[in-house]
Structure 1
Amino acid sequence: MSEKKAYPLRISAKVLEAMQRWADDELRSLNAQIEYVLREALRREGRLKPPRAEPTEDDAE
Structure 2
Amino acid sequence: MPLPPLEEQKKIAQIFMTIDNKIEAEMKIKEELEKFKHGTMDKLLTGKVRVKVGEESG
TM value normalised by structure 1: 0.32
Query: Between Structure 1 and Structure 2, which shows a larger proportion of helix residues?
Result: 2
> Larger Cα Rg: Structure 1 or Structure 2?
2
Greater length-normalized contact order (CA 8 Å, ≥ 6 residues apart): 1
